[in-house]
Every structure is written in structure tokens, then in C-alpha cells.
Amino acid sequence: ACALGRPPPPRAAVRCEAAGSCFSAHLANGSYIDARSDCGRRRGGLAWVSSEPELRLLLGLLAEAAARTAPSLFWVGLKRNASACTDAGQPLRGFSWESSGGGAAPWEVPAALGRWAKEPVRSCLTSRCAGLHLAAGAAPGGGPSWGWKE
């Protein structure tokens, strides 16, 4: 999932919110590094989410893109450096948003964004990446069933 600058590239599956955040979804099997490079070639960076409206926009786009392939894992800019420990008391469990493209990644994370499909491995020794996991079916209250997954 890429966060794009305006205007978005032609023929991409793109959704934008009025405030200016744009996201695109790309289906491919690849690593976090591959996904980051692919987003860079599209004049963007791996997506990061700073609010519930942005999350809803991204989830709608990804659910549409993965309609026939759920469950799916989409790489986003969520990473934990080797020097950071897993922190079960934080919504992102010690992970943080990797900033790119000159943008400043948000430091504050609303608690509602702290849903994990599977809790990350407790560690302080290795760098880890996390993606946005979409499961088949709907979540309570509507919308796709989702969670972060290491």
C-alpha cells in the first residue's frame, strides 16, 4: 500500500481523502524492501496511517483490491528497529511509521489503530516489519476484518 503525492499516477487503483492523503494498492508477492522500492517508483512511499478516517479509506481500497484473494497481507511503512523493544502497552507495540518522501511520520497513534491480527514476537534484538492483514469476512460494525501482522 503506497502513500502517494498529488496528482496520483494514471490508471492506479487510488483513493484520496479531502485533506490530501492518497493511497494506492498493488497486488504482488514480494518483500517489504520490494514494496518500498515499488512505491518509490510510483512517486510515493509505503503508506502510514495517522487517523481513523485515513485507516477507513485505506481499508476500503485494500478490501476492494483483495476481494478475490482474502486473506491478504499488504506491506505498509510499519517497522521496528533492532534497538526498539516490543512494547505490549503501546498500540503499535514498539513499531513506528517509516517516513519517506519528505513527509513526517506521525508519532502519536490513536488507540483505535492498535488492532493486531497476531501479536508480534517479543524482542529487542532484530528489525521487524509489519503489514496490514485483511481477513475474509466483515468485522463487527461493518467494514473488512483487519489487523497489523508482523
Domain architecture of the chain: domains with CATH: 2-102+109-149 (3.10.100)
Based on C-alpha coordinates, what's the Rg of the chain? Answer: 15
Dist. CA 123–CA 84, nearest whole Å: 8
Q: How many residues does the chain have?
A: 150
Assess contact for 43 and 3: CB atoms under 8 A.
no
Dist. CA 68–CA 84, nearest whole Å: 36
Amino acid at the residue 15? R
Residue with cell 497486488: 27
pLDDT tens, the chain, 150 aa long: 666 655 544 445 788 877 777 888 888 889 999 999 999 888 888 998 888 888 888 888 888 887 767 678 899 999 998 888 988 888 889 998 886 554 555 556 778 888 999 999 888 888 999 999 988 665 556 667 899 999
Query: What pairing do the DSSP bridges indicate for beta strands 22-24 and 2-4?
Result: antiparallel
pTM: 0.80
